[in-house]
Structures are given as structure tokens and as C-alpha cells.
Structure 1
Amino acid sequence: MPKAPRLTTALAASAAAVLALSACGGDSSGDAESDASKSSSKASGDDAKDSKDVTLAEPKPADAKAVEAIAVTEAKGKKGPSIKLDDSPVKVSETTRDIRTEGKGEDLADDAYAEVDLAMFSGKDGKAIEGSETYTSSPIVLDLGNAQALPGLIKAIKDQKIGSSGVAVMPPKDLFGSKGMPEYGVDGKDSLVLVYDVRGQLPEKVEGKQKRLGKDMPEVKYNDGKPADITIPKGATKPKKLVTETLIEGKGKTIKKGDTVYVSYTGVTWDDGKVFDSSLKDGRGPFSFPVGGQQVIPAWDKAVEGAKVGDRLLIVAPPKEAYGSQAQGPIKANSTLVFTVDVLGAP
């Protein structure tokens, strides 16, 4: 019997539901947008919030005192953080945080995709919530501008500097609602304690001088906040094999199989040069996938493995490296696809 996914998987799915794109690079066997939306709906419980509500209120003195009294033992090596409650159960009327370390990095943007390490504990007895801790694995990415996210997490992390760390207590209404998440031992009555460290934020695009390619290769013009212009050269022969070119060379970590990578992208068909999908449309934001996990077309798994964070890639995918003989939405059967992909991060 397969194990239940980690709680952090559910948290990331909910807090970054905007990452659920229409899966232009996805497997044609499923609908990534609808699947992720279902996951988000489940994770966010029955107390959805509008974006105007996702702000941290001035704490009540009793709430602030209760949070300040929580003792934290920091994560070390292969051991995550732990807490000790001075008085249990700990409860708050509204999400309340205590910043223990003021970061020295840049301010998080209001709509940042924040890289955060976190661990969650029961407000009833201080015990760790199984599957919630990321300190011994890798940070998750939270979309701070997503109105459909779990408001308690967003309230706890927003309006801080990179490098900040602290403790927050979140009431049920700001997390999983009155139903809780029983599969993780979280009921709908008790507050949860969050220990967090703000590690960074994803850039909107990669930076650097873009390399020019040969006359028979597509030309890419990046547009801030809009899909890239990809021009297919007239009379050029379609490649029969996968082509990957690095337009901008990054200086970040090298992507390995199994890494979860965050990218922005634009895709066009070789035959007409029309955009069929882009993460830069409709304010959707970055797309994430596990490299080598066969959750995207083969071309993406092959092209991104071995690339570096900060790379801008040009990918030309013949049909066998894309959707083959199957049509996919606006993409006709046996289409050669052209993508520009910015590798934004791999926490």
C-alpha cells in the first residue's frame, strides 16, 4: 500500500495553486490544472479567504504573549526543529507571529514566490506534525500573492526580509478549516504552531546577455511579464532530434534527476510560430515539476536535467519528444514544438 504524500506536498499544492498551469509541457494523459485545483481545494479546507483578507492583523496582547512564550530548538544536521510549549494548549484568535531573527536580505515582494523552510507542530501538545518539516530535505515555494492559498502561511511569511526566521501560531480558520486534515493527524479545533526560515524568493526571469544562434534556429525575444516572441526562420528544416541550446548561462546549482525545478516558459509550434501556452499569460506564474519524473514531455525532462539555475534554454522538440501522434489542445498531432524556458530555481 503506498504511503500518503508528505503534508508539505499538500501545503505547496495549496499555497502555490497558481503553479497549476494548463500543462503545455505536461503528460497528455491528465489535466494538471484540474488535478492541482482539486488538491488545493482539499488542502485549504472550508474557510477560503479573499486576497484582501490575507494580511496579518495587529496581535492581541494575550495572543502575542502566548507565541513569544514558545521555546524553539533549532534544526541541526539531519534533525528538524522542535518546540516546547510554556502553557498548553496554545490558542490564538488570529494568526500571530513572533520574528525571532530579522533577516538582512531584500524585502519579500507582496507577490513573491518565497522559498521557505518550515515545520509544524500541534498547538495541543507541541508534537511535530508528521510530514510537515522541510529543514532536513529542501524548502518549499509559497506563492504569497495567491488569494487561494492557505492564509495562515501567507500571513506568517509576508512582509519580511530574506533571512528572517520566527514562530507563528495559526488558528484552524486560517489553515485547514473546521474539517482539518485527519490523514495527517490535524483536527479542526486546535491551532498549529509554525517554525519557519525565509530562505529566498524566485526571480521573475533569468539575467544575462542572450546568445545569438545560427540562421536556421528559432530566434527568441524575451518580453517582461508577457510571453516571449519566438520566430521560426523561413525555409529552415525541422530538426528530427531534440535540440537544446543555452541562450543565457546561469551560475546556480546544476539540476539533477529528481530535483523539483521552477521554470517560466513560452511554447510555440514550429509550423506556424503561434504561442500555444506560456506561464507568462494571465498572471499565472512559474511552473514546477520533478525532473525525470515523467510528468512533462520527454523533451523537458531531458533538456532541464544538467542545466543550471539561471539558464535560459531554447528547446526544439520533434514529435517523439513531445506528444507524438496525439493532439493536445491547440497542438496538432505530430507537431514539432519550440520552447524558451527560464530555469528560475530548484530549492
Structure 2
Amino acid sequence: MPRRLTTTLSATLLAGALVLTGCGEEKASTSSSTLTGITVAGAEQKEPTVTVKAPLSVTKTESKVLSEGDGAAIGKDDLVSLQAVLVNGKDGKTVTSTWKQGTVGLDLGAADLFASFKSQIPGKKVGSRIVIASTAADAYGDTGNQQLGIAKDDPVVFVLDLVGSAQALATAEGTAVAPKKDLPTVTVEKGKPATITVPKGVNAPTKTVVQPLIEGKGAAVKKGQSVRVAYTGALYRNGEVFDSSASRPEQPFFDFTIGAGSVIKGWDNGLVGQKVGSRVLLIVPPADGYGSAGSGEKIKGTDTLVFSVDILAAY
């Protein structure tokens, strides 16, 4: 994969496996509220202070909107970017927060996402700050989370700022773009890795090439957003495919935070500014790829890489 760090869009995102980047600008207004012994205070788009009257008794997962945003209502299968503070309801201790690093992305349609998120986030508007009082069963389930000091019977309080949402495309959609001469060609067949044909007798470029093949009609990708892509990667020297999201039919896409160093430099820089719905050809020399060390058995330290990337969502 084109990644340097591992990201997982599931409950583990809020269990310490965080790959994050900053987002949002400060507002002057403040908000505070109480929900069953929970007090939340602090300026919007700043880390809130959460006080819990412990031990908190939560017999049913519930939520409250502390300040309502003016964005679209979030759907039950949307991709959502958010900021989060987690508090153990048993002892009132804050166990983790994303605010020092930045937003995280969640897939509300993922089977392993917290049940409390699946039930409480849909219908809320983007830009809102909400508090969720979750039963243990709807958060970390029967096992708890030892790393965070949450036992299997401990309720959990989530204070979430809902930064953005999107519905993912199934494939690139837009207007075909004629590529420049002497670049690799790409053929995409549904459900299969893209076929990337490298031109014979043409030396690999020494700088990263970014060539849209389809220009999407969505918004331009911004640094710091969570992005969903489908991709195929091949070696420039022989056209051999070394990785493709299509090879994993159970999850034929890849989610990451762009500009956070979680993927190779050629991706972090090359996809910013491209529109959602686009198919982008990236030709990445070693300096913007895996460097002189290469990666795995197939990618040598001298290898230039070719990627076909479909931008399916940015949020």
C-alpha cells in the first residue's frame, strides 16, 4: 500500500491508533450543557472541558446537541470527520482526545464501528458539537479497553465536534482528460486492478507527475481532510502491479488523512487540489515514494512508481 502508517476507520481509531491532522478555524462563541451528570464547556472549534459526575449510570445510550451546526444532516452510512474527547464514565477521567493532533475519519457504515456512534451521529448536522453518554455495550463491548483503562462494564462519554461528512462514490465520475504524450496509459475494469501500460523507450521522470485522466465534479481535496480512494500501483520499469485496492474485495478502497505523512509524499502532495470524482495518474520517483530503502520484496530503492487513483470522497 502507499502508506507509511496504519489507519483503521473503526472503533480502534478512538482506542489510541490515531493518524491525525488539524482542521477548522476558531470561533468566538462558547457552549455548555449537562446531560445526565455531564457538563461540557468551551469555545466552539476548541477542545472542550468535560466534567462527569462519577460514577455515571448509563442504562441507555443517549445524546444531546450542545451547539447545532449549519451543515447538512449526516446520513447513516456517511463518512464523517470529527474531533473527539473520551471520558470514562466510571471515574470521570479523560482517557483520550484528538484535539492536540487533529480530526479523524469514521465510516458510519463500517460493521465494527461503535454502536453508540451508529445510533447517535446520523441525523446530526455538520458543524455541531454533541455529547453521547454510551453504555459499555455500545462502546467497547464485552472486553473494555485495557490500554485506555476502560473496564468492560464502564460507560463512556464522547464529546464530538462533527467537522465534515460525505457519501463515497463507487468509481471516478466526470469528464475525460487527454493525457500528455509519453505517459503511461490506464485501463480500468470494474472489480479488477487497473491495467497500467508503461511506454517503451521513455525514461522515468525525475519529478512527480500529476495527470488527471478524469476530472471529477466534486470539491477540491484540501490538506487535512480524510480521503477515500481506490487505486492500483505498478512499477515503471516493467508495468508490474505491486498493489491494488481492488485485490481486497471486502474493502476495495483506502482511507487516509491527506497531508499528515500517513502516505508517501507523492500522494500527500499530488492529490491535494484534485477534485472528488477524479481519476489521477501519479508517477512517483523514489524521492517522493519509498526512498532508497524501497518497500517489501517488489519495490526497489531505485523504482519509480505509477499509480491510478480514483478519489471517491473527501470530508
Q: Same fold (TM over 0.5)?
A: yes
Please state how far the C-alpha of 1:301 moved relative to its aligned partner. 4.3
Long gaps (5+) in structure 1 = 1-23, 45-66
1:132 equivalent to 2:100? Answer: no
- C-alpha contact (below 8 Å) 1:314/1:340 kept by paired residues: yes
TM-aligned CA distance change 1:138 to 1:346, over 3 Å: farther
Please state how far the C-alpha of 1:316 moved relative to its aligned partner. 1.0
| Structure 2 residue aligned with 1:153 | 117
TM-aligned CA distance change 1:194 to 1:335, over 3 Å: same
2:202 to 211, 218, 237: 237
SS of the residue 1:300 aligns to: helix
| Structure 1 residue aligned with 2:58 | 92
AA aligned to 2:131 is: V
Post-superposition Cα deviations, 1:125-167, rounded to whole Å, max 9, x if no partner, equal 655x153254x7643211223223344333433x325436533
2:282 to 291, 310, 315: 315
| Structure 1 residue aligned with 2:306 | 338
- C-alpha contact (below 8 Å) 1:242/1:299 kept by paired residues: no
Please state how far the C-alpha of 1:242 moved relative to its aligned partner. 2.9
Q: Aligned equivalents of 2:281 and 2:165: distance in 1?
A: 24
- C-alpha contact (below 8 Å) 2:105/2:226 kept by paired residues: no
- C-alpha contact (below 8 Å) 2:79/2:168 kept by paired residues: no
Post-superposition Cα deviations, 1:291-328, rounded to whole Å, max 9, x if no partner, equal 363x5444334534x54564653211245544557563
Q: Aligned equivalents of 1:137 and 1:105: distance in 2?
A: 25
Please state how far the C-alpha of 1:70 moved relative to its aligned partner. 4.9
Please state how far the C-alpha of 1:102 moved relative to its aligned partner. 8.9
| Structure 2 residue aligned with 1:80 | 47
| Structure 2 residue aligned with 1:10 | none
TM-aligned CA distance change 1:211 to 1:190, over 3 Å: same
* TM-score under structure 2 length normalisation: 0.67
1:25 equivalent to 2:6? Answer: no
- C-alpha contact (below 8 Å) 2:208/2:282 kept by paired residues: yes
- C-alpha contact (below 8 Å) 1:103/1:160 kept by paired residues: no
Q: By percentage of residues, which structure has more strand?
A: 2
1:279 to 229, 241, 245: 245
TM-aligned CA distance change 1:84 to 1:332, over 3 Å: closer
User: Which deviates further from its counterpart, 269-278 or 179-188?
Assistant: 179-188
TM-aligned CA distance change 1:105 to 1:238, over 3 Å: same
Long gaps (5+) in structure 2 = 17-33
TM-aligned CA distance change 1:211 to 1:93, over 3 Å: same
- C-alpha contact (below 8 Å) 1:267/1:275 kept by paired residues: yes
Number of equivalent positions: 285
* TM-score under structure 1 length normalisation: 0.62
- C-alpha contact (below 8 Å) 1:162/1:200 kept by paired residues: no
- C-alpha contact (below 8 Å) 1:104/1:161 kept by paired residues: no
Matches within 5 A, 1:197-236: 197-205=161-169, 208-220=174-186, 226=191, 229-232=194-197, 234-236=199-201
| Structure 2 residue aligned with 1:195 | 159
Q: Aligned equivalents of 1:218 and 1:90: distance in 2?
A: 60
| Structure 2 residue aligned with 1:328 | 296
| Structure 2 residue aligned with 1:20 | none
TM-aligned CA distance change 1:184 to 1:195, over 3 Å: same
CA RMSD of superposed structures (Å): 4.3
Please state how far the C-alpha of 1:279 moved relative to its aligned partner. 3.0
SS of the residue 2:56 aligns to: coil
Give me the identity figure in percent. Answer: 24
Please state how far the C-alpha of 1:266 moved relative to its aligned partner. 2.1
TM-aligned CA distance change 1:242 to 1:165, over 3 Å: same
Please state how far the C-alpha of 1:212 moved relative to its aligned partner. 1.5
SS of the residue 1:339 aligns to: strand
- C-alpha contact (below 8 Å) 1:220/1:228 kept by paired residues: no
AA aligned to 2:306 is: V
1:266 equivalent to 2:268? Answer: no
AA aligned to 1:169 is: A
